[in-house]
A and B are shown apart, each in its own frame.
Chain A
Amino acid sequence: MKSIVRRKLPMTWALLISLLLVVTLSTAAYTAAAPKKPAIESEVTLATTTSTQDSGLLDVMIPAFEKKFKNKVKVKVVAVGTGQAIQLGKDSNADVLLVHARKSEDEFVAQGYGIKACDVMYNQFLLVGPKDDPAKAAAAKNAVEAFTKIAEAKAKFVSRGDDSGTHKKEKSIWDKSTIKPQGSWYISAGQGMGETLRMAEEMGAYTLVDEATFLTNKTNQVILFKGDKDLINPYGMIQVKSTRKKVAANELIWFFISPQGQKMIGDFGKNKFGKSIFVPDFKWRK
């Protein structure tokens, strides 16, 4: 017994000493490194599309982010069309983008304007229209067929016509149908989603709308077609390379893709609409 204790004692000491060393060294290293880690900037500008703003998602996400940093950072949200959001990024007038137009996003990164591009979440587009559905679009098997039926019936269709993510999605479906939409039935509104939806309702016309805007607007339009893979609406987040708010921009993206942020996105809307509006699907882009 005695011999074992004697033999063990130096080892315990050695362990203790090494532990102490590790602690002191790492603390020293930490305190030495800490001043080098820059503090978060006092504000950061997020350029996003009207759909994320109008849905109310940002009213939940942004305060939670600011609270995480003890309100030392303020997020300024600029909600505009996707085209304008991307231009804001190119001109260094925004620090982070949260948009939904994959092709333009990829170009933005490829041209060297953006870094840390990732998928954040998606929601879906709905084809909505008047209850009586004059073009019988509800009977279509897929989105392309539904669009074709509308064009063949020359039933009124209101297009965003503003180069937004939603407009680009609509154009891609027309392209697949090989129909070139034109004529008095095809109305190019050149306005935001809420306005376009309202115009479609007034005119008894069809339109393509993102689910978030549809759920958050009062409208008598009914959903006629949904669930096609062509109608998936993916949102991406990109840090503007030339940003002067590097820390805050980085933290904001990390907040949206963190398990906490992704859960908040998935839970959003459950209370108000009985279902979630956005599906979190974080993935870095290659």
Chain B
Amino acid sequence: METLYSSMLSIVKLILSGDKALYEIILLSLKVSIAATTIGMLLGIPFGTLMGMYRFPGRQVVVIIIYTLMGLPPVLAGVIIYLLLSAKGPLGELQLLFTPTAMVTAQVLLVTPIITGLTMVAVRGKEKLYLETAVSMGASRLQAAWLVIREAKAGIMAAIVTAFGRAIAEVGAVMLVGGNIEHVTRVMTTSIILETRKGNFDLALSLGLVLLAISFMINGFLVAGVLKYLQRGEQY
């Protein structure tokens, strides 16, 4: 109880103090997670839409693989990227290990299956309703796909929010491939682990609550954005 109370106090102090190190950490967390989610969207939304719209032999196997990868243990994603980027690994020449780029790469591996899988489900729900109508009205395949994506946007937005949540809260992979280096690759989750290890439980808890507050704000923006978009959609 005492810890909880003192951490409430220290959060207020932390945020008001304008502590440079804290803002640096928050900013990097946001940068890495937003980059990973954006790349995940560019890969996952088209792929998920295709998976939702078309039937082909072996589709079920691909679906099972996507669902499995949605639960990919972060540490495993970290180890894979680590081995790829390690000095002796196949991509060692690039010298990307222990950089924010390595962290984004590992998170892309985690969030892309989530966006793909959830987009697929969202599109499948709308596809039957809209695809035939669109095609019968003379829409091209690309136009039809765009229409289905637009109709499935609430589900796709949920996919993006879930992916972003996974990225910003993730610790195992970014610790491994980022290295938690001060001023370089230290993010909120790895700081929380570090402060816990030091025995600074109240600081760790404060950082955790700041992380939650940021997630709340970001999700607020996203949800408000969706609502606005939906309303505008109705006017069309």
Contact = CB atoms under 8 A, between A and B. Distances in A.
Contact of B197 (A81, A202, A203, A204): A81
Of A161, A188, A190, A199, most buried by chain B (CB within 10 Å of CB) is A190
Contacts of A142: none
Nearest to B182: A188
B198 A191 contact: no
A163 B198 CA distance: 6
B91 to A, nearest CB: 13
Contacts of A190: 180-182, 186, 190-191, 194
Contacts of B182: 161, 187-188, 190
B86 A202 contact: yes
Nearest to A188: B182
A61 interface: no
B200 interface: yes
A202 B98 contact: yes
A199 B197 contact: no
Contacts of B97: 202
Interface residues of A, number: 23
B29 to A, nearest CB: 15
B199 A87 contact: yes
B201 interface: yes
B199 A81 contact: yes
Contacts of A161: 182, 194
Given A190-B190, A190-B194, A199 B199 contact: no
A192 B198 CA distance: 11
B175 interface: yes
Interface string A184-207: 000111111001000100111000
A158 B104 CA distance: 23
B196 A199 contact: no
Contacts of B179: 187, 189, 191, 195, 199
Nearest to B186: A190
Interface in B178-206: 179-184, 186, 190-191, 194, 196-201
B98 A199 contact: yes
B87 interface: yes
B185 to A, nearest CB: 9
Interface string A68-92: 0000000000001101111110000
A88 B198 CA distance: 11
The prevalent SS among residues of B at the interface is loop
Among A88, A202, A204: residue with most chain B CB under 10 A: A202
A202 B84 CA distance: 13
A281 interface: no
Interface string B42-57: 0000000000000000
Contact of A203 (B98, B175, B180, B201): B98
A87 B196 CA distance: 10
Nearest to B176: A195
Given A189-B179, A190-B180, A83 B199 contact: yes
B197 A189 contact: no
Contacts of B180: 189-191
Contacts of A163: 197-199
A278 to B, nearest CB: 23
A161 B186 CA distance: 12
B181 A84 contact: no
Contacts of B190: 190
A162 interface: yes
A202 B87 contact: yes
Contacts of B184: 187
A249 to B, nearest CB: 20
Nearest to A203: B98
A202 B178 CA distance: 12
Contact of A162 (B87, B183, B198): B198
Contacts of B201: 87
Interface in A164-201: 164, 187-192, 195, 199
B198 A83 contact: yes
Contacts of A202: 86-87, 97-98
Nearest to B175: A191
27 contacts: A81-B197, A81-B199, A83-B197, A83-B198, A83-B200, A84-B197, A84-B198, A84-B199, A85-B199, A86-B199, A87-B199, A161-B182, A161-B194, A162-B194, A162-B197, A163-B198, A187-B179, A187-B181, A187-B184, A189-B181, A190-B180, A190-B181, A190-B186, A191-B179, A192-B197, A195-B179, A202-B87
Given A85-B199, A191-B180, 9 more contacts: A84-B198, A87-B200, A162-B194, A162-B197, A188-B181, A188-B182, A190-B181, A190-B186, A202-B86
